Amino acid sequence: MQTERFSAQKIKCAGCVGNVRKRLLSLPGVDTVEVVLPAAAGQESIVTVQGTGLSREDIGRCLVELGYPVVG
């Protein structure tokens, strides 16, 4: 199993988390998606994706398309 982690901006509520999970789970090879919301203002959320044959580029592109810029 492969794990990819991203820091993403603007994910701030349960609705955002639901949108991210739904979209990323639709990608080929994605088995699980976990989103940890920031503890304080100005911090990024952490998105962890697990699966097989994951494309880091596709996952990052999906986050950006949803309006959540990837940091780093």
> DSSP 3-state assignment of 2?
strand
Domain coverage including residue 50: 2-71
Q: What is the pLDDT of residue 42?
A: 87
Q: What is the pLDDT of residue 41?
A: 85
CATH number at residue 39: 3.30.70.100
Q: Looking at the 3D structure of the chain, how many domains does it have?
A: 1
pLDDT in tens, 3-55: 999 999 999 999 999 999 999 999 999 999 999 999 888 899 999 999 999 99
Q: How far apart are CA 15 and CA 71, in angstroms?
A: 21
Burial of 55: CB neighbours in 10 Å, binned 0-12, 13-18, 19+? middle
DSSP letters of 4-55? Answer: EEEEESS--SHHHHHHHHHHHHTSTTEEEEEEE--SSTTPPEEEEEEESS--
- Enter the pTM of the model: 0.94
